[in-house]
Amino acid sequence: MNDPKKIRLALTTLGVVFAALVISFSLDLWGRVEPVRQLPLVDEEFLQPQTWRRSYADLVKKEDEDELLAFSCYECHEEGKKLELTYDKDNHVVVPDEHENIVMGHGSHGRNNDCFNCHNSENLLVLQTRDGHSLKFEESTQLCGSCHGPTHRDWEHGSHGRTSGYWDRSKGEYHKQDCVNCHNPHSPKFPQRAPAPRPNHLRVNPVATAHFGESNTH
């Protein structure tokens, strides 16, 4: 154990090992940490809880006088006088310049693009079902349901539309959005939106990168 040659050999061996470790660590030959991918932030649009439209009932609750002014029909129209519509050669309603923001597109067949299918021609402050029943603007969902029965049934049961609050009624209140919170009544087709980004791995995955590419969405 006290042989100087063996001691020198052991020390030399340890020195070579430590030197090799220093070189390997400095060159990062192994133990390299996989780089962390810099993920872009999710578009805040996907985090918004509110719908893209507000119903008349919402405006009344918020007492939004500027928006409610758009429903003050008799600010321009003469009260008590039946409103007459103008049609083009193809029997389509000609939307007046004052309502140029309205795009008529209720149904692909075009048979429902008539103002008085939903509005009362003699009282512009109420809506009207096909059987002549009058409804307030805040009751517009009932108007939709008078034609779209199965969809209205699904809405009542909570499988169509957005329901917030508690499914378990014993724990608290719940709230169902009106049809017009998601559908423009004049052009009800739901607007397209970009899909949410796919799930991302925090660290670079060569297989996933080769398959999906470097972009965050696909």
The closest alpha carbon to 116, from 68, 152, 82, belongs to 82
Residue 93, CA atoms < 13 Å, CB-side half-sphere: 22
**Assigned token pair, 172:** 């608290």
Distance CA 145, CA 156 (A): 10
Q: Answer whether 143's CB lies under 8 Å from 57's CB.
A: no
What are the distances in angstroms from CA 147 to CA 67, 99, 128, 130, 153? 27, 25, 12, 8, 11
CA distance 81 to 89: 25
**Contact (Cβ atoms closer than 8 angstroms) between residue 145 and residue 135:** no
3-state class (DSSP) for residue 157? helix
Distance CA(106)–CA(188), nearest Å, equals: 6
pLDDT digit string (tens) for the chain, length 218 residues:
567 788 888 888 988 888 888 887 777 766 666 677 777 777 787 777 788 899 999 999 888 888 888 889 998 898 888 888 999 998 888 999 989 889 998 887 777 888 999 999 899 999 999 888 999 999 999 999 999 999 999 999 888 988 888 878 889 888 889 999 999 999 998 877 777 777 777 666 555 444 444 444 44
pTM: 0.68
C-alpha to C-alpha distance for 169 and 70, rounded to whole angstroms? 36
In this structure, are residues 104 and 113 in contact, taking their beta carbons and an 8 Å threshold?
A: yes
